[in-house]
Amino acid sequence: MISSHFQVVLLLLVVATTTAGFLSCLILYRYTKFRGSRTRPLAMRCVYQWGMAFFMGVSILSIDWAMGDKAPLQITPLSEESGRIGFANLALCWGLLCLSGFMVQRVVRVIVRPTATPEGWQLQHARTVDTAARRDGQVGETPAKLRIAR
């Protein structure tokens, strides 16, 4: 059994680590905006954004869990789960939620603002090639450019 003092040190370590992670993501988010680049740094903004949300949630959940019965949210440790919601499950769900949020945002960004992401550029290029091929009457065939190269 771990002593209470060690558990407090562990909790403060978790809080410090998650706060540092949150601030790092925050600075990187701000820095990419500051640079104003249209390529990879701007596309990484949503990673930092969802990273912030993840660290923030985990930090709040860990303190709430440490407060036990006096906490605003009734979260219990994994060993004491008996019908109530557990910390481990909640943290895992929160992580998956942030990950899925990041993925959905990337997809939406590529569709809505294709020029802002490298994936969007590739999509636009593929569409241009496809349109040119359709105009030449070569639907489903190798694009003209590649055939000439061959």
Partner 1 sequence: MLSDAVPERFGLMLLCSLIGLFGGGIRAALRKDPQINPVRDVMTQAAASGFAAFLAAAIMLDRLDSQRQYLMLFVSGIVGWAGASVLDTAARLVTNWIDRYIQKLDNGDDPKPPASGGTNT
Closest distance between partner 1 and the C-beta of residue 73, in Å? 10
Residue choice 13, 17, 21, 29 for contact with partner 1 (CB under 8 A): 29
Cα 110 to its chain centre, rounded Å, is 15
- Closest to partner 1 by CB, 30 or 134: 30
Task: Report CA torsion sign: 71, 77, 82, 83.
Answer: positive
Query: What's the distance, Cα to Cα, between the start and end of the chain in Å?
Result: 71
- Closest to partner 1 by CB, 26 or 129: 26
Q: What is the rounded CA–CA span in Å between residue 123 and residue 4?
A: 56
- Closest to partner 1 by CB, 43 or 87: 87
Residue 117 engages partner 1 in binding (rule: CB under 8 A): no
- Token pair belonging to 43: 């596309």
Residue choice 26, 88, 123, 133 for contact with partner 1 (CB under 8 A): 26
Site for partner 1 in 54-83 (CB under 8 A): 56, 59-60, 63-72, 77
3-state SS, residue 84: coil
Written as one letter, the residue type at 78 is: L
- Closest to partner 1 by CB, 54 or 117: 54
Closest distance between partner 1 and the C-beta of residue 14, in Å? 11
Cα 73 to its chain centre, rounded Å, is 25
